[in-house]
Amino acid sequence: MKIKILKYKGTPCYGRIADVYVIYWVDGRVHYMAATEFDDDLDIYTDEDSQITDPYLSNRFLVTSIGSKHPMITHEALLQDNLLERVIEGGPDEFKRFKERLLNTK
């Protein structure tokens, strides 16, 4: 799935395209954890900050609720070895590990 980023933290982004790796809902709002090809971490965008450009999810996404009471649709590469939590907390090194895992599982 891909989104066009319209705003990031309130600032216009002029339509950068990002790959979505997690989708979740909080208080009726859709949130995407996504990254562009230039990012070294996952950023969170809402449905108001972005526009879906490619709505298709691969069969590599699973419905989960890891550490949350809210259901999430998560790419399977983030589910192994608690990688989602490590990417969120660990920064660029963990995100690099995630990107390597994506390349090795295609």
pLDDT tens-digit map of 93-104: 888 899 898 888
Give the tens place of pLDDT for each residue, 32-82.
999 988 888 888 999 988 999 999 998 899 998 766 677 899 999 998 888
Looking at residue 52, its pLDDT comes to: 93
Looking at residue 19, its pLDDT comes to: 93
DSSP 69: S
Nearest residue to 55 (alpha-carbon basis) of 28, 78, 23: 23
Looking at residue 106, its pLDDT comes to: 58
Give the tens place of pLDDT for each residue, 16-27.
899 999 999 888
Count CB atoms within 10 A of the CB of residue 42. Answer: 21
Domain count, the chain: 1
Q: How far apart are CA 106 and CA 19, in angstroms?
A: 15
pTM of the model: 0.87
Encoding tokens for residue 59? 């069969």
Domain that holds residue 13: 2-104
Looking at residue 37, its pLDDT comes to: 85
